[in-house]
Amino acid sequence: MRIPWSVIFEVIEGYTSAQKIHALWRFRPAIERYVSTMSFSTSSVARTNSHPAHPHQKQLRDAYAVRILELMDETLSDLSVQDQKTWKWRYREYMPLELIGQFLYDAPKDCQDISGFFRVKALRSLDSIATKLARTMACDD
């Protein structure tokens, strides 16, 4: 799983959107894995400098990876308890959209496509939460 560095750089610099927040949370395990192995690989910075125009690229990525994880945790804690729970269902427990929708909503009696109804409702809820996270991340320095 490749880390979306361009998205991380943009979010740290304050350019956020709901889609970027979803991407960050999808790649959170990869970012955490990168940070956990970072101290070992940072000792070989001289060897990893592949582009002379960016001699500090490794250090910059390390710092941004740590900062983005901090931001993700801070902004998540600013949400309501229900929003936190919903967000964690998707991005920590990897619950399918249909199941999240079933937990959050009741299906109307005349609904023809119940599974589609639940998926759409869950996705709309998650997009709303992602928008809140994006606004909060954009305001943080």
Q: Mind listing the pLDDT tens digit for each residue in 57-87?
A: 778 888 899 999 999 999 999 999 999 999 9
Domains of the chain: total: 1
| More confident site: 16 or 59 | 16
Alpha carbons 127 and 118: distance in angstroms, whole number: 14
pLDDT bucket at 40, cuts 50 / 70 / 90: low
- Give the count of beta carbons closer than 10 Å to the beta carbon of residue 92: 12
pLDDT mean over 10-38: 91
Domain that holds residue 112: 5-139
pLDDT bucket at 90, cuts 50 / 70 / 90: very high
Q: 124 to each of 112, 116, 128, how far by Cα in Å?
A: 19, 12, 6
For the cut 60, the answer to whether the pLDDT of residue 41 exceeds it is no
Indicate the range of 2-6, 62-66, 129-133, 137-141 predicted with least confidence. 137-141
- Give the count of beta carbons closer than 10 Å to the beta carbon of residue 90: 22
- Global model pTM greater than 0.85: no
Spatial contact of 79 and 125, defined as CB atoms under 8 Å apart: no
